[in-house]
Every structure is written in C-alpha cells, then in structure tokens.
Structure 1
Amino acid sequence: MPPGEILVVGTGQSGCQIAEDLHLAGRTVHLATGSAPRVARFYRGLDVVAWLDRMGYYSKGIDEFDDVDAAIVEPYAHVCVSTAVADELLAGWGLKATVIPNGVDAARFAAAAGPQPVATADREKWRRRLGRYVLTVGGIEPRKGSLDLLEAYALLGDPDVRLVIAGGETLFDYRAYRAAWDERAAELGVAPVVLGPVDDAQLPALVAGAEVFAFPSIKEGFGLAPLEALAAGVPLVVSDLPVFREIFRDAASYAIGPADLARQLRAAPRTDRSARGRALAATYTWPAAAAAHLEFYARVLNTSQRSAQSASHPSSAPTVEGFCPIRG
C-alpha cells in the first residue's frame, strides 16, 4: 500500500461510511470487497433504493444505461425461462439460449382452493372483506397493463364485482404513471382495491377466492402469478402475447385491448377450464427446473474445460452457446 493511502476492508454500512468520510477528508481510499462484493443496504439513515432514487437511477430508460448490450453478449452461456424470450435474444443479438421454465408450487395453491375447513375459512375471510372480485397480482405499472385493466373493469359495469390489485411497488419510478392511473380511476368513477404487498401465507387463499384472475401485461418473460391462479382452478384472462400462448396454451382466455379484456373477464367464470388449468400448472415444478439447471451448469462447465484444453487450436474450439436476463 503506498504511503498515506488507506485500505478499508468490507463494503457494508460501516465500511462505506468510513470510506466516504476518509475520501471527503482528502485521503486516498481503497475498498477491499472480496470475491462477493456487497453494498450497504442502509447508508447514512437511508435505504440504498432511496439513494438510487435521489441519483435519478430509476428515472432512466433502459437505453440510457451504459453497456446494456454487454450484459447480454458477454456472458459465456445464456438461460431463458421461455422460448419467447429466447427468440428475442436470438433475433436481437444472434445468441442461442437454453430454455428452462420456472416452476410453481401447484399443490399449495390447489390446497387453498380445496374443501378442507381451514382452506374454506381462509377463502371466506377474503370474500367477506372484498366480496366478489377480479384479482391481479403485480402492482401498478406500465408493463403490467394497469391502465388497460382499469378501463376494462369500468366497462364491466358490475358494481358487485371489485377489482383487487395485490403486489408491492416496483423499484422503478412510475409515480407519474400511478398518478395517471388514480386520475383515470376517478374519471371512470371506479374504486379498485389496492392491497399492496400481501403476506405470502395469505396469498394462496386470496388467489383461490377470486372469481377470475386478470394479467394484461404488455411484456413478460414467463408469468408465474397467472400459473398460480391456474393451480388454484381460477379462470385466467391474459393479454395475447406469444409467451402466454406458449406457457398457458388452452387453459387461459386471451384478450387484446380493454374492450376485449372486459368481454373475456365477463365470460371467463362461465368457461370451466379449471381441470385443464390445474393439470397444466402441475407440469411446471421447481424440482424439474432445478434439475435442468444442474444439467445445464454441468454441460457448460464441461464445454468450458474442453475449450481451455483446446485453446491452442482455435479452429477446433467448441461453439459458445448462447445468460439471458430472467424476466416475469
């Protein structure tokens, strides 16, 4: 270490604060982060998300960040949760990805819809509180099609059915969108119930108690929340996206735009696809996803080792397989 310079080991709250104090005092500071770098979750009394917000991080569009392409093209191998996303990767960057779908705890959501006294009582708690309701999970943001769902709900014209939105706030700054959503709700004369985050233990009963589950996203990579609804036997209406056609097949109803969404929401409870939906959800398991990842890692490691061994013969090196950001 050069004379006068200081080494701070660790990047937790104390390390970051000490390093900044020393830097502001004019000292040259080195942070030792190790092989697993960390950042303080709280720093000078504020959560790191609040600091990022102050810095304008969440106000930037994805095209304003540096090296977005590098995060996609530099990884050695790529995994996507759906063929639809893998196709985007291939079309946009010419990279081939291995597709490994997510899983769902289907038995947990199926049990929440079952006849057992505890499950029945848990569903009734939500129904006493909310009445009959259309449910969506995921918060209020552009990607979730929240404004379209609001318009569709108004078109339903049934005062006995409530629109219920569960899910926490996104990390991105969608305050303007939320303000527009609130303003539009007032103009339409509707009052959706915004629950915010729901305790994980209570979520299956909330889902199972719904008359229909709506998920009109404009962009998704998979769709775990709708799959949980299918596991509970709840009618599902989603936007007509290739990824949803791939994952939900004929177990869901598909809609384009608010008017179509309203029609499908109205018709879905009369379309009995519950057995089809439960059977489909049961095919997506976490053990299967884990096993597929282990096989993928073993194959990538084997390819990497062979590449290292044949590094002196580039012409015989294996083709690098196309890490795709996991979305949805």
Structure 2
Amino acid sequence: MSWAMADRFALHFVPDGYAVDGPRLLGRQAAGAGLMRAIAEAADVQAIGCFAAGGAHAQECERMLRSHGCRAEVVHIAQGRPQDIAPFGTLYQPAPALDRLAWRRLGVGERSYSLCGVTHTTASHAVMTAIAGLLVAPLRSWDALVCTSRVVRDSVREVLERQADYLRARLGAQRFELPQLPLIPLGVHCRDFAPDEERRADVRRRLGIGADDVAFLFLGRLSFHAKAHPQQMFAALERAALAQTATGRRQVHLVLCGWFANEGIERAFREGAAALCPSVRLTVLDGRVPEQQRDAWAAADVFTALADNVQETFGLAPIEAMAAGLPCVVSDWNGYRDTVRDGVDGYRIPTLMPGAGAGLDLAQRYDDGVDSYDMYCGHTSQAVALDGALLEQAYARLIADANLRRELGANARLRAQREFDWGVVLARYRMLWSELDERRRADAVLAPPLPALVPDRLDPFALFATYPSMQITPLSLVELANDASLALVRQYRELALNRFTVASLPTLEEFGQIFGSIGSRPMQVDELLDALGPCDRPALLRGLAWLAKMDLLRIRAAGAENEESL
C-alpha cells in the first residue's frame, strides 16, 4: 500500500452508526451517513479502510460508499487484525466509546494508529461510563474525541474531572493523559437544501398554505420527553397568531415533520396542539420519507426547534434549515448556541433550569432502573423553561415581516455554506487527523491523571450547567404570572404532554403552598424555601422551573428587577 496519509481514511463500520433507512431515524445516524457521503465524494481520497465485524458488514460499508459515487479503493479490515489499520493512520469511530478500541490497539502497539471518536448524546449513563473510562483506557495524546459543541465539551470535561478526582483519591494517580478534545461541528450537504421555488409553490398548494400565509416548521424526532417539549411552541405560536389580527390576519401554519415512537406520543402532540394553538393549522408529515421531508423544507417560511433536553448536544435540523434559507427560532440551548446567531440567522430564546443539587435523585432513579433513559431525559426536561414572552415576540416579528424572513434566511444560508457544509467540516477532520499523525510520530509518552461522587452518574443540572442562559439560584426572584392559578396547574398537569412527569415534580398541594407563599409580591427563592419549611427541595426547585415552563411563573436573576425574566 503506497497511499499518502492525507489520501486515505479508515472507518469503524457498525451499521447502526451510518444507516438512515430504518424505522427510527436518529441524528447520530444522519451525521454518520453525512460524513460517509462526504468521504465518498472527496475526489482526492485514494483508499478507505472498513474495519468491520464480519464480511457482511464490510460489504454493506462498501455498498454504501459506492452508492455515493465513491471511486476509491475500499479495503476490508477484519476486527481480528487491527494491525492492518496502521497504513490508514486514524480509525474513525462514529461514537464516543474509544476504550475498547484502545485496548484492542494496545496489543499491536500504541503508536500503530490513532483513534478518533465523536460525541452525540452524552446524557445516557452508558455514554457517561464510556467517557469516564477514557482516563483508564490506553488512550494517548494522538487520539481524539471530537466534541460537536462547546456545551457538550463542558459535559465531557465535567465527567473526566470527576473521574480524575476519584482515581487520584482512590489510587493516588497523579499523571493523566487524555485524547484531544477538538471542537468540530456536524455538517450538512448544503446543495441538498437549495430552495426550489417551483416545488415550494406546488407543495404549499397541496398543503393548503396560501401565498400570504406563514408556515412554521419543526423537523426532527417528535418526542416531548426525549427531544423537545412542544407546549411553549404551541402556546407562543397561538399568541403570536392572534396578536396580528388587527393588522390583517395571516393564517399561521405549523408543520411537524418527523416520526412518533408510538400512538400515545402522537395523541399527546395532537391533543396539545388542539388545546394550546387552536388558531394554528397543523400539518404532520413523516420525516422518514425523503419526499415528505423535502416537501416540508420547501413549504416552510420559518424553522423552529425549542430543544430543552439534555440528550441533545448539537442539533442537525437547525443547520439543515439554515442551508434551506430559513430563519430559525431556536432555544438558547446546547449546540444551537454555536450555530444560530441571535438576530442574524434567526432568534435564540433564553432558557432556564435549576442549578446543581436539584437532580441527583433523577440520576439515581435512572441508575436504579426506576426510570428508563427516556424518562430520565423527560423528567429533566420538565425543569427546563424558555422565555415565553421573547418566544412570542420572535414568532410575531417573523409572521408580520416577510422582508425580515428573507434577510435572516439569506444570512443563515450563507453561514451554512461557509461553516457547516460537509466539505468544510470534512476538511477540519482531515486537518485534525494530520495533526494526530504528527503527534503519534513526535509526542513523548505521558502517563494518565480520584472522589466519593460517582463521576458518570452526576446530577443532570450540574452536568449540563452551561446549557441554559441562567440558573435558578437562592437569590433568584420569583413572581406569579397574572393569570397563574392552581386550576391551570391542574389542567396542564393532566395534558398527556406533561402527565408522565408527576413523579418528579411537587404535588398539587405543594404547588398550592408555593402559590400561597409567593402571593402578590416577588420573593427570593431562598426566602420561599424557608417559608415552605421542611420540603423536598430538589422537587420544589424543579417545580419552580416547571411553572416557568408553563408560563405561570416569572423568574429573574437577583438585582435584575427591571430586566426581562423567564
């Protein structure tokens, strides 16, 4: 084999990491498929190694590469022969778990090749355990775990630092060596999303969207507990739609394009939309069907995604929307903060959640098997709220101003082409892999860097502390909304969107005590907790955030009496 290092790639091929044609389409699979396609389309790639469990997987890897027009030589590498990876320089793993691959490499020499993984969700305990294991696995400075956003890198670092503390205390470990943690976003193939005016006219006619109507699009997995809770989106769209009645009302549409895990979740979405945004016309498309997904992009005027879930780390859909030339209204949460520029490509709506101390019991319930991973994410997300007033303002602005929609959409498309096209992102990967090659040749070997706290079972509100715009602290000020009432609390708790979360929130009686203690005046959180007496403090802190999520409570930072609140 005589290829130059820059002319070849090696992929650890696990079908689930790259397949996008199954019944459950996930973001990590779309990302894996996108990178594979970018590699296949790169004209200067001479050889691609496929490190796979068996011949069938290797053949599937080659089939997928060829389907994207790959002309490079495809080399099948058996998992029993990791030494055959060496000529390729770096093995790419479409997941963060590098430990077993590092142990496998140890038998053929640590400097034989580099390993490169990538973060997707870091919220599952299995992934946290894999990240914590990086400190004891034989990984070196010539390996890398790509972090797709700044906030996910913060979470990775939090686990690693807690694990290092534990190893230091338990074993007296003093020297630690980590893989590189470079920041490289996911990408999209921008040309796939180029606006098509002819298709737009046809799709809008078929969907009953008038020329002057405004269509908002949410595209992605339709899950209120494991993706994005839609209540504030529904409610803010309704308020924004009704607010512009006096200026010549346009029909507002909401297109949900994705897939529901089951009929119960679909019923919950439809029930929530009917109750919270009856003036908005709802259309549901199957996002697993390519034609319906293309219809959704063509029909839309505005993209909105209000992720409030710790399993999210980057979010492909917003950059797909940017590539489609759509202004984006997103939550100021996770990797959205690295993609959508507030006021330039759209609007990022501030978010809020409790600080550390409000969720260790949730991590323990998940660890004990009381809650599934989805329920862990769901209970956590119920304590994440957006600024409902600012969300309504953003929606109203974009409904009223077609020129603003065009301006922000044009900015978004240009940014997607310059920063997030897979051609640009792949170039960053190739530069990283060249740097790892150089480190592997030149770096001295430095050995790796222990506490009572379990490092990979952290309180989610500590682990994901940098996700929200602000946190609820003892000095935060809380004030009831004008229309707040226990009747509304009871009504919202009974919505299928929220019913599942009763176990992690205060009881109706405790909500009544909160209302009675706050009364008609703003008060500090620590003052409120003192007034409530002996109580389940974590549940009450989550309850305050949940009330804000329901737009029944306003919360602002201490000393910010005149500022916007959540």
Task: Quote the Cα distance in structure 2 between the aligned partners of 1:104 and 1:198.
Answer: 17
Matched, 1:254 2:254: no
Contact 2:190/2:417 (CA < 8 Å) preserved in 1? yes
Amino acid at match of 2:217: L
Cα displacement (A) at 1:70: 4.7
Task: Quote the Cα distance in structure 2 between the aligned partners of 1:238 and 1:199.
Answer: 24
Task: Quote the Cα distance in structure 2 between the aligned partners of 1:245 and 1:144.
Answer: 16
Matched, 1:149 2:233: yes
Contact 1:109/1:232 (CA < 8 Å) preserved in 2? yes
Contact 2:326/2:410 (CA < 8 Å) preserved in 1? no
Q: SS at 1:138's partner residue? A: strand
Contact 2:185/2:425 (CA < 8 Å) preserved in 1? yes
Question: Scaled by the length of structure 2, what TM-score is found?
Answer: 0.39
Residue 168 of structure 1 is matched in structure 2 by 259
Matched, 1:245 2:373: no
Cα displacement (A) at 1:215: 1.0
Contact 2:152/2:334 (CA < 8 Å) preserved in 1? no
1:135 to 191, 210, 217: 217
Contact 1:214/1:265 (CA < 8 Å) preserved in 2? no
Which is bigger in relative contact order (C-alpha 8 A, separation at least 6)? 1
Contact 1:145/1:216 (CA < 8 Å) preserved in 2? yes
Q: SS at 2:231's partner residue? A: helix
Aligned CA distance change for structure 1 residues 100 and 122 (closer, same or farther; 3 Å): same
Aligned CA distance change for structure 1 residues 278 and 69 (closer, same or farther; 3 Å): closer
Find runs of 4+ consecutive structure 1 residues off by over 4 angstroms.
Answer: 68-76, 174-179, 304-307
Contact 1:208/1:234 (CA < 8 Å) preserved in 2? no
Amino acid at match of 2:283: V
Cα displacement (A) at 1:276: 1.8
Q: What RMSD over aligned residues (CA atoms) do the two structures have, in Å?
A: 3.6
How many percent of aligned residue pairs carry the same amino acid? 26
Amino acid at match of 1:290: L
Cα displacement (A) at 1:236: 1.3
Matched, 1:294 2:414: no
2:201 to 124, 127, 137: 124
Contact 2:297/2:321 (CA < 8 Å) preserved in 1? yes
Residue 200 of structure 1 is matched in structure 2 by 290
Contact 2:326/2:413 (CA < 8 Å) preserved in 1? no
2:269 to 168, 172, 181: 181
Amino acid at match of 1:299: E
Aligned CA distance change for structure 1 residues 221 and 65 (closer, same or farther; 3 Å): closer
Residue 409 of structure 2 is matched in structure 1 by 274
Cα displacement (A) at 1:134: 0.8
Contact 2:302/2:328 (CA < 8 Å) preserved in 1? yes
Aligned CA distance change for structure 1 residues 182 and 108 (closer, same or farther; 3 Å): closer
Amino acid at match of 1:263: Q
Contact 1:126/1:205 (CA < 8 Å) preserved in 2? yes
Matched, 1:317 2:379: no
Q: SS at 1:273's partner residue? A: helix
Residue 181 of structure 2 is matched in structure 1 by 97
Aligned CA distance change for structure 1 residues 175 and 218 (closer, same or farther; 3 Å): farther
Question: Any gaps of 5 or more consecutive residues in structure 1?
Answer: 1-34, 42-60, 113-118, 308-315, 321-328
Aligned CA distance change for structure 1 residues 279 and 263 (closer, same or farther; 3 Å): same
Q: SS at 1:317's partner residue? A: coil
Task: Quote the Cα distance in structure 2 between the aligned partners of 1:177 and 1:260.
Answer: 28
Task: Quote the Cα distance in structure 2 between the aligned partners of 1:294 and 1:104.
Answer: 17
Contact 2:216/2:302 (CA < 8 Å) preserved in 1? yes
Q: SS at 2:290's partner residue? A: coil
